[in-house]
Amino acid sequence: MRHYYLGMQELEVVDKYKYLGVDFASNLSWKIVCSRLAKKARSRLGLVSKAMSEGLSFEAGERLWTSIIRPVLEYGAEVIGGVWLEAELIQNEVGRRLLGANLKTAIDVIRGEIGWWSMKSRRDLIKLRYWGRICRLKEDMMVKKIYRLLKNRNENIKSSWFHQIKTRLVNLNLAHVWDSEEVGTKSNWNTTVGRSLRNREVSEWKTRMTNKPKLRLYRVLKLDLNREEYLGMLLTFAQRKALTSMRSGTHVLRIETGRWEKTEYNERICKLCNNSVENEEHFFINCYVLERIRDTLVSIRSDCGVDISVMDKAASMTFLLANSCRARETRCQVARHVADYIIKASWLRSKLLGL
């Protein structure tokens, strides 16, 4: 082992050292700090569950995530590199708890309903903003001098911070900025990077959804990666949960349970009426056994001035699960009626089938 001295004092050689909250390892790995931060973030997940169980709004629950959990996972993101799957899993778990979604709910639905980027894109944003800040420094500053000294030497070393920055810029079609370093003002650069990352995130999100048969209805309802309005409405947790489950295809209708059992589509018949395939449309409109409680949906006409009986079935489904009424209060009333119907009809269905 080599020995190091500061004057006459021998320096202790250690395997890791914590500096400004970041653990630096002798093998240059980030596993130690990532593990510690993930453990710290997971210890706070109970706050989200408690908030939801006590009836707090979705906004209050999400604020817990953005203020005391996510910052832990983003600490040191300016320099910490590599793939960090645990951070993605923690965000997905928080999303499930906020929505009341079960483990069968697709991750793309959770992110789609809340409008979240992946943690990877969040960390890329922080990293590229920091790089832009370095580029704007004056040439006589120490940080800029060190940057200049190491850039050309390390940009092609895959494990280096410089290579990570260059790779991300190339991936976002901003490779020319790596060479020119013309990032403009702080505001302009942040806007450019944010827009590029969002375009990438939306493109990848839509691509993943096209490969999932379960999301056939969700692809029709959800056209962009932004937070759904019903999450901010004055609904109970049970009502929001009911809307999420039906929109995402995570329910117990035969169209979904038959997929688990690998039953042919045309054989996933409704066990209540034995008339046709039990999909979402059948559940809301066609099943005569549920007619007795369909007054919940009929009341939409009297309360909101919308008559779904004159719409074709496809338009009816889009209206019920992604209503586009002009007035916000009308949209809130529709969401309440639809959620109440889902809850009541699901209860009646389970009771009649002895589930």
Judge contact between 134 and 147, C-beta under 8 A.
Answer: yes
Express each pLDDT in 172-213 by its tens digit. 999 999 999 999 999 999 999 999 999 999 999 999 999 888
Rounded average pLDDT over 91-119: 95
pLDDT value, residue 298 = 73
Rounded average pLDDT over 289-309: 77
Q: What string of H, E and C letters represents the secondary structure of the chain?
A: CCCEEECCEEECCCCEEEECCEEEECCCCCHHHHHHHHHHHHCCHHHHHHHHHCCCCHHHHHHHHHHHHHHHHHCCCCCCCCCCHHHHHHHHHHHHHHHCCCCCCCHHHHHHHHCCCCHHHHHHHHHHHHHHHHHCCCCCCHHHHHHHHHHHHHCCCCCCHHHHHHHHHHHCCCHHHHHHCCCCCHHHHHHHHHHHHHHHHHHHHHHHHHCCHHHHHHHHHCCCCCCCHHHHCCCCHHHHHHHHHHHHCCCCCHHHHHHHCCCCHHHCECCCCCCCECCHHHHHHHCHHHHHHCHHHHHHHHHHCCCHHHCCHHHHHHHHHCCCCCCHHHHHHHHHHHHHHHHHHHHHHHHHHCC
Q: Which band of pLDDT confidence, cut at 50, 70 and 90, is reported for residue 292?
A: confident
Judge contact between 115 and 227, C-beta under 8 A.
Answer: yes
Express each pLDDT in 134-157 by its tens digit. 999 999 999 999 999 999 899 888
pTM of the model: 0.90
Judge contact between 113 and 247, C-beta under 8 A.
Answer: yes
Judge contact between 272 and 313, C-beta under 8 A.
Answer: no
Q: Tell me how far the alpha carbon of residue 159 is from its chain's centroid.
A: 28
Judge contact between 169 and 128, C-beta under 8 A.
Answer: yes
| pLDDT cut 70: percent of the chain above it | 99
pLDDT value, residue 306 = 73
What is the dihedral sign for C-alpha 274, 276, 278, 281? negative
pLDDT value, residue 312 = 77
Rounded average pLDDT over 254-270: 92
Rounded average pLDDT over 221-226: 92
Express each pLDDT in 37-78 by its tens digit. 999 999 999 999 999 999 889 999 999 999 999 999 999 999
Q: Which two tokens stand for residue 284?
A: 């809301």
| pLDDT cut 90: percent of the chain above it | 69
d(CA 192, CA 185): 11
pLDDT value, residue 293 = 86
d(CA 219, CA 222): 5
Domain-wise residue ranges, the chain: 1-211, 251-353
Mean pLDDT score across all residues of the chain: 91
Residue 317, pLDDT above cutoff 90 = no
Range in 87-101, 134-148, 231-245, 316-330 with the lowest mean pLDDT? 316-330
pLDDT value, residue 330 = 84
d(CA 57, CA 42): 21
pLDDT value, residue 302 = 67
